[in-house]
Amino acid sequence: MKNLILITMITFLGFSAQAQTKKNKNLKYTVEVNGNCEQCKKRIEKAAFGVPGVKTASWDISSHQLTVILNEEKSSTQDLNAAIAKAGHDTKEVKAKDEDYENLHSCCKYEREK
């Protein structure tokens, strides 16, 4: 009987230790993204949601901060920055190609850093 209790306790402790080592793969990431208006907000958030693993995306017009929750197993922050740049918006990490920027609506064109 003592052996049965001892085996049960060891098994329970083994499962408890394994459950504690589970790593959270979600990352909260914030990056500055250039833009001006509600159209920019929709475009930036749509580009962010197009990246695999993005669970939430919210761009603030006044602060130009994009905040996302990203599953690091599915994509990286570099993937996210590249997708935003492809939509025509510069980030602190990746600058949009000139032709992508030129495709933006006139009210969405912001002053670009050289």
Cα gap 113→8, rounded to integer Å? 65
The pLDDT assigned to 39 comes to 96
The pLDDT assigned to 11 comes to 72
Could you tell me what percentage of the chain is helix, strand and coil, using 3-state DSSP and rounding each to the nearest 5?
A: 45, 20, 40
Residue 34 DSSP one-character state: -
The full set of domains in the chain, from first to last, is 24-108 (3.30.70.100)
Of residues 113 and 78, the one with the higher pLDDT is 78
The mean pLDDT of 11-25, rounded to a whole number, is: 62
| CB 57, CB 49: distance < 8 Å | yes
Q: Please give the angle made by the CA atoms of 91, 89 and 40, to the nearest 5 degrees.
A: 120
56-110 pLDDT tens trace: 999 999 999 999 999 999 999 999 999 999 999 999 999 999 999 999 999 999 9
Enumerate residues 6+ apart whose C-beta is below 8 A from 60.
Answer: 66, 67
The pLDDT assigned to 113 comes to 80
The pLDDT assigned to 10 comes to 73
